[in-house]
């Protein structure tokens, strides 16, 4: 029986399984449901002998605006699927012994995205438009990322909310670049990201589709067993250097920065009282006035 998806599209052609983020009206923000569907689709592709490579892309003008942070409705009115406790990811521990200090949110984000890292088949990201916050985590855990020159990549929440759920910056670029981007929360273009080595290649937006398809046609012609061996060989080097250990402790910094430090809850307070636009202005306004994204 085929799986029914609500927030992604899934299809297979020419040895490539394509996962399309498909909530463009919400800029493909990562809800609990979308995260679960991505995970399920990844493992469907992993177990399909016809598939050599997995492609993650998005419908609409943006790749992904990050995790869903929209406030839930008032109690008793239209339960929100995105924040519904019944839909929390597998492995979420709600026990009061752990819920208050183990940052189940950040731990769940890492668990979901590490399915890309551990998948036996390579995962490629095709990125256009905005790719922000959790969207950059999704892109950066993919084995190869191809982006449009004019795409916007960045992690603005680090300006006023918390450290990343998945702290990929030190593993994707130089120390100078990692510190600059993580301390400022500034965004860069796809072309700049390629020059940094954050992504594999960037292309003019009108050429992105055909360029990526050329890459996929060549890549999918390699025996899938050899692709898997090469992916795992590179992954092992980063694991030896401590990447998964670093990722595994990221929740503690996320908790300290997002809940315990002074003013940690200011963004959330403004969000609940005045809405998302006001909260984003509080967080990003000073940077925009200086010409930063």
Residue 283 lies in a domain: yes
pLDDT of residue 136: 98
pLDDT (tens digit, 9 = 90+) per residue, 112-149? 999 999 999 999 999 999 999 999 999 999 999 999 99
Mind listing the pLDDT tens digit for each residue in 259-269? 999 999 999 89
CATH number at residue 231: 3.90.226.10
- Indicate whether 204 pLDDT > 70: yes
Please, which pLDDT band fits residue 88 given cuts at 50, 70 and 90? confident
In a domain, 107, yes or no: yes
Does residue 84 form part of some domain? yes
CB 167 within 8 A of CB 245: no
Report yes or no on 30 lying in a domain. yes
Task: Please say whether the beta carbons of 225 and 122 come within 8 A.
Answer: no
Q: Quick check: 158 pLDDT over 50? A: yes
If one counts every other C-beta atom within 10 angstroms of the C-beta of residue 289, the result is 8
Could you give the percent of the chain with pLDDT greater than 90?
85
pTM of the model: 0.92
Residue with tokens 């925009």: 288
Q: How confident is the model at residue 6 (pLDDT cuts 50, 70, 90)?
A: very high
- Residue 242 belongs to domain spanning: 8-289
CA distance 172 to 3: 34
In a domain, 55, yes or no: yes
User: Does some domain include residue 1?
Assistant: no
Please report whether residue 106 resides in a domain: yes
Q: What is the pLDDT of residue 22?
A: 97
Residue 43 CB contacts under 8 Å (≥ 6 apart), including other chains = 115, 119
Q: How many domains does the chain have?
A: 1
Asked if the structure places residue 167 within a domain, the reply is yes
Q: What is the pLDDT of residue 68?
A: 87
């Amino acid at each position: 029986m085929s799986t029914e998806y609500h927030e992604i599209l899934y299809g297979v052609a020419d040895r490539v399984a394509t996962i399309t983020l498909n909530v463009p009206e919400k800029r493909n923000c990562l809800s609990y449901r979308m995260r679960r569907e991505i995970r399920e689709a990844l493992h469907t592709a992993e177990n399909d002998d016809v598939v050599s490579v997995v492609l993650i892309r998005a419908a609409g003008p943006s790749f992904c605006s990050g995790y869903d942070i929209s406030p839930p409705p008032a109690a008793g009115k239209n339960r929100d699927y995105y924040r519904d406790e019944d839909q929390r990811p597998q492995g979420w521990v709600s026990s009061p012994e752990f819920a208050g200090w183990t940052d189940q949110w950040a731990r769940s984000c890492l668990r979901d995205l590490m399915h890309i890292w551990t998948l036996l088949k390579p995962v490629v990201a095709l990125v256009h438009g905005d790719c922000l916050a959790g969207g950059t985590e999704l892109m950066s855990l993919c084995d190869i990322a191809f982006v449009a020159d004019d795409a916007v990549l960045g992690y603005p929440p680090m300006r006023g909310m918390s450290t990343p759920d998945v702290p990929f910056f030190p593993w994707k670029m130089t120390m100078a670049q990692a510190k600059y981007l993580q301390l400022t929360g500034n965004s860069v273009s796809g072309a700049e990201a390629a020059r940094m080595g954050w992504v594999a290649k960037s292309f003019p937006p009108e050429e992105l589709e055909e360029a990526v398809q050329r890459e996929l046609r060549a890549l999918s012609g390699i025996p899938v067993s050899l692709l898997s061996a090469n992916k795992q060989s590179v992954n092992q080097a980063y694991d030896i250097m401590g990447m998964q250990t670093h990722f595994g402790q990221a929740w503690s910094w996320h908790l300290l920065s997002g809940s315990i430090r002074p003013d940690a809850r200011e963004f959330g307070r403004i969000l609940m009282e005045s809405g998302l636009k006001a909260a984003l202005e509080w967080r990003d306004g000073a940077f925009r006035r200086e010409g930063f994204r």
